[in-house]
Amino acid sequence: MTLSGIHVPLITPFAEDGEIAFESLEDLAHAVLDDGASGLVALGTTAEVATLAEEERRAVIEICGRVCRERGATLTVGAGSADTRSTAEALRALKGEADAALVTVPAFVRPSEAGVLAHFTALSEQTPVPLVVYNIPYRTGQSVGAATLRRLGELPMVAGVKHAVGGVDLDTVALLADPPADFAVLAGDDPFLSALLALGAAGGILASAHLRTGEFAELFQAWRAGEVEHARALGHRLSLMSAAMFAEPNPTVLKGVLHAQGRIPTAAVRLPLVPASQASIEAALRTL
């Protein structure tokens, strides 16, 4: 499959009683697609997936899948763990439920790059859906260089990478200068979206695109069309907004903003996260 454009990793809104606010989740899904998102990501980090029970995860996939089918949009589902065998089992469960799976580079165990390659090679032989490698070394403790990412991109069931290395480093430049065929490099650090699009990224998976979704889609189209001055100015504005959304752990500020806008019933998060400070929420609202 080919991945491009803006994909929104949906939050999990909670009601006053602490349960998932499913109606608000569905409304958010429709709203970002209405505003130009190419797809949704369910059960990503932004969804507080580690705090969701198995039945809650299944319900989230069902809602997001139904919305994407209705709208002709791409659904990517976060799946797996640091264990190859259990990750393969999770992927097999996505058959018929998702268009792609977002699979993080094994965290905490810190395998070598050869181990990362072996992990995804094994998964590519067993998965029923295309894989998007989630390269986020500041969470996993594992750095994956451009050469290894290219080898991952050559695997038959690997469709792309969510690239979130905390900046634009030499490996990022090298990868985008010569990516494998049909391998989508998607920006995963919101403030650096414009920079990666300028270098040739295929799009982004961006929590802050819950907000100003249409402008994120406009930025993607502007770089694609070569409208450099417009893209640069718009990219700077969106980068500043995105940075404000990450002033405290994701998605706490984002939820505070969405609640202030009346789009979700509470700003609640589940422990070990705690709600964002009012100062951070107000600062983020000012950037809007």
Number of H helices, E strands in the chain: 12, 8
Report, as an integer, the average pLDDT of 21-39. 98
- The whole-angstrom distance between residue 72's C-alpha and the CA centroid of its chain comes to 19
- Report the alpha-carbon distance of residue 284 to residue 9 in Å, rounded: 19
Domains held by the chain: number: 1
Residue 143: its pLDDT value, please?
A: 87
Residue ranges of the annotated binding site for pyruvate are 46, 205
Report, as an integer, the average pLDDT of 80-86. 94
Looking up tokens 């505003």, which residue turns up?
A: 35
Residue 90: its pLDDT value, please?
A: 97
Report, as an integer, the average pLDDT of 194-219. 98
CATH at 116: 3.20.20.70
pLDDT-derived band of residue 147, with 50, 70 and 90 as boundaries? very high
- The whole-angstrom distance between residue 57's C-alpha and the CA centroid of its chain comes to 16
For residue 63, the enclosing domain spans 5-229
- 288 in any annotated domain: no
pLDDT-derived band of residue 1, with 50, 70 and 90 as boundaries? low
Q: Kindly name the residue from 95, 134, 138, 255 that is annotated as catalytic.
A: 134
The better pLDDT of the pair 1, 88 is held by: 88
Q: Kindly name the residue from 95, 138, 162, 255 that is annotated as catalytic.
A: 162
Active site residue 162: yes
pLDDT of 128 higher than 90: yes
Structure tokens at 284: 């983020």
- Report the alpha-carbon distance of residue 167 to residue 61 in Å, rounded: 31
Nearby residues of 253 by Cβ (< 8 Å), 6 or more positions away: 244, 245, 246, 247, 276, 280, 281, 284
Active site residue 138: no
- Report the alpha-carbon distance of residue 68 to residue 50 in Å, rounded: 23
- 214 in any annotated domain: yes
